[in-house]
Amino acid sequence: GAVVSQHPSWVICKSGTSVKIECRSLDFQATTMFWYRQFPKQSLMLMATSNEGSKATYEQGVEKDKFLINHASLTLSTLTVTSAHPEDSSFYICSAPHRRGSNEKLFFGSGTQLSVL
């Protein structure tokens, strides 16, 4: 099946610093990628839709200046958490849809656990 690679898997940073998370589709091209956040015991919440070559689309309540998304190529999307604070600590997951014939699936990266001190 299709593979989505996410890096880093785990990061600890000081409050006020910025953290970049990368999401790569390894064996397919993804014009669209999704970024989710999951707090403990809660569902996957869609933060934004990353579009190759154009601006990302953010969900309501998500600050676009805080969560910068760049989708510079057909295989790479990055999420930068700027000026991170402890409340930004969460599990961030990227995903990319891949269609094979009439069958479409969403493939997920392995996630990034962000801890802001």
Contact 81, 87 (CB under 8 A): no
Binding mask 78-97 for another protein (x = CB under 8 A): -------------x-x-x-x
Consecutive H or E run containing 51: strand 45-51
**Contacting residues for 84 by C-beta, under 8 A, at least 6 apart:** 13, 15, 16, 17, 18, 19, 114, 116
Shortest spacing between CB 2 and another protein, in angstroms: 10
What residues numbered 15-34 form the site for another protein, per CB under 8 A?
32, 34
Among 9, 38, 19, 22, residue whose Cα is nearest residue 81: 19
User: What letter does residue 54 receive in the DSSP assignment?
Assistant: S
Q: Of residues 29, 73, 110, 115, which one binds another protein by CB under 8 A? A: 110
Distance CA 87, CA 68 (A): 17
Q: Of residues 44, 62, 68, 76, which one binds another protein by CB under 8 A? A: 44
**Contacting residues for 72 by C-beta, under 8 A, at least 6 apart:** 52, 78
The stretch near another protein (CB under 8 A) out of 12-20, 43-51, 64-72, 76-84 is 43-51
Is 1 an interacting residue with respect to another protein (CB under 8 A)? Answer: yes
Shortest spacing between CB 95 and another protein, in angstroms: 8
> Would you tell me which residues interact with another protein (CB under 8 A)?
1, 4, 6, 9, 32, 34, 41-44, 46, 49, 91, 93, 95, 97, 103-111, 113
